[in-house]
Structure 1
Amino acid sequence: MQRVVIVGGGFGGIYTALALEKAMRRRDDLEVTLINRTNYFLYYPLMPEVISSGVEPRHVVVPLRTLFKRIRVLEAEVRCLDEERREVLAYRDGMQERLSFDHLVLASGVEANLAAFPGVSEVAFPFKAAEDAIALHNQIVDSFEAAEFTEDPAERRALLTFVVVGGGSTGVECMGEIEAYIEGIRRYYPRLDPREVRLVLVELAPRILAEVGPELGDYAADRLRERGIELFLENSVTSCSPTQVRLANGTVIPTRTLVWTIGTTPTAFTKSLDLPKDAKGHLVTEPTLALAGHPGLWALGDAARIPDPEGKPYPPTAQHAVREAKRLASNLLASIDGKPLEPYVFHAYGTFVSIGAKQGVAVIRGRQVKGFLAWLAWRAVHFWLLPGIDRKMRVLVDWLFSRTHRKDVVQIGLRRPATQLVVTPRIAFLREGRAVPAASDAEPPLI
């Protein structure tokens, strides 16, 4: 019996497990365990739509146990690898379990690296977990409620100012959905002057969306500006506090909402491994996704750097992670059967970015697409990649429902803190569990 342990339940880990589960229908020599810190798979590309109530929060997470019949799922954290004894050590709530393996698949992904930017972790909203999107949705609603209450014009303008740092796809999609949500809920706050709402996107590069090229990047920038979004290009945040953000050009922006979408780093577990890594701590694999000099060890997804035929690393995208998983599973089985391994070679279908308001940009097989068709292509790709027919149908219903119904102006209760800054003390979500909602305001946790 060949024991396979998969560490990580992102795109790479999930699709590797799905490929192995399919193989287990016709062979009985595999024992597979998937270990993830949560018991669900977060479909990260749809997180921005949670902000705008375009998709229900539960529908962007897929319960792992509904995906597998033959694979053991453990909700735990892997902290140690003993390569000599072929074991990993998994922890959960003070308990631990040693799991032996013949093959270990490292798909542990990356995490937000706010610590690299002094002061940011104390005041900014990260955007890497499901609860981050929920917390940001709550923050927008709470900001409007507080703005409705205050009589101080300066405080009101600060409450209605929202700053997003990062002009890549995540930052642009996040800002696009913030604008779309605010546009949808303004009617419920007739006392507030729409001109006091300020949306700011900060990007270090001369253009946003470098991944789609200058022409589409400029198109996206123009569409965002038409919707009233200010772009501070070739700029960065030099300091921030709970009340303001200072940019490199000297601009000071009073705000109560700072969203940070840049900066990721491999997990502490990945960094601790004595395995081939690049300067930033990502695992460096062979083209076959195996780790050179470490038989039975494999890596893929955001945690890994996999060379293309020219020796350059493939981009860490969902499309590549899904294809990497299929090649890794195939090579893992070939290794067990004593067959030759094949290199991973894949040309992505394209790059797709939604900029909100039914607009998008895309590069599909080298062809540039923009506007409504690009947005439609973005939705089609993510509908296809979302695992599980149940979640596909739920998201489809959400999309259809959002076309005919108004935006919800409601906060979603959380017991577990997602971030550290909320504008009113009524619901105080602070980091590390130092504060939780008051008993009178507590609601059942959504996730």
Structure 2
Amino acid sequence: MNKLTGIILNVLVMIMIISCNQSTKKSEQIIKEPKGSFEAVFIGVNDTIIPDDISSEVEIDRRLLRNLNLTKDSDFIGEKRNFYMHAMGSIAIEDAQFYHFKVTSSGGIKFKINNKDVVANTKIHRKETNFAKAYVDSGSAIFEVEYFSGTHKPHIFLEWSRDGENFETLPDELFSNLDAFEVQAMETSEISSEESLQSDNILTDEEKKNGWKLLFDGNTTNGWHTFNKPGTIGRKWKAKDGMLVFEGRKRFEFYVAGRKIELGTTNKVLDGGEDIVTDDAYENFELTLEWKISEAGNNGIFYTVQENEKYDECWKTSPEMQVLDNNRHKDGLIYKHRSGDLYDLMAFKPIGVKPQGEWNKVRIIKNKGKVEHWLNNIKGVSFDLNSEEWKEMISKSKFAHLKDFANPGPGKIGFQDHDNLVSFKNIKIKIIE
């Protein structure tokens, strides 16, 4: 514990390391639910919040990493083995283009850029080299590394290339990119007094006249079912106090620089979760609803969902309007991952989300392939599913391999099981003829 004093330095990389007393022969994935006793080594930033329920025997350390080339024991935690590491930081990207990455490691590793898997070699291995190619926008790219050394000598070495042939280590100055952790302050947009006085989950005479339909009656989950499972809905989805609520689940979590990071696998089927979708499909429509997210929470709204057994989650067939606590969830650091965004594809501009804990009013319009995202009476995203610009954007994204993604025809409305508590109300739809 003495290491903690005097080693507080400026952030370049945020890291958590867990050393579990488990046999590595049973561990083929990096992330495991903590079982039994374990020690955790947090290497973080100045205002790291250590969970209260961590054992008093936990070793805590903070240090400055100048890059992601970690090849000596002192780059990690000395002679320790069987530890888990979660690292998060930023790389300054000058030009938007495809980059080639070369990651040499021992143990098991995942390397992500802006929440997209670039390298995933999660089985415990002796020293191996993995190559990958990913499109990265200019600006501050947020990277994450999940690493489990097993019994092997820990080793991570990162290189990149523009042409796929001439690889080099990333210059240290590209990691000195702390502005990525400064997120623009939230702005708010007042909902009109007429809207605020209207009763929840009720259609006015004017709305009925104009063809609006309720997708949630305020009392039951009728009209909704688990993705790919018509007639059923997980017990974590409930009609409660006039809201459609996903109750969330407890995971192993901690905060670094005020941002929540959650670890551990979950079985959403046994836990009564999974994504839900409407019973009916819609092609041209106007959808309105309100959402409220828990602290550091994450969720999403989908609107072209295609049910098919080859897909296990809504995001693999539908664009997503992001629902997020921008200021507390780690994805709030990632451009195009914030509230209102067309997730991972287009940023919502200007920022229109209200502070966490308040209700946000959504309006999504989809008409003949043209889509608009509105948040609190602000239009911040618009695109055309039939355009060449859309096709080019998808070709550079994590969705490029998904053949049924963003079908411009009929699709279902969906909400996400993303582990965190979220509430919806006043879910209404009007068919556009």
TM-score between the two structures when normalised by the length of structure 1: 0.22
Higher strand share: 2
TM-score between the two structures when normalised by the length of structure 2: 0.23
Higher helix share: 1
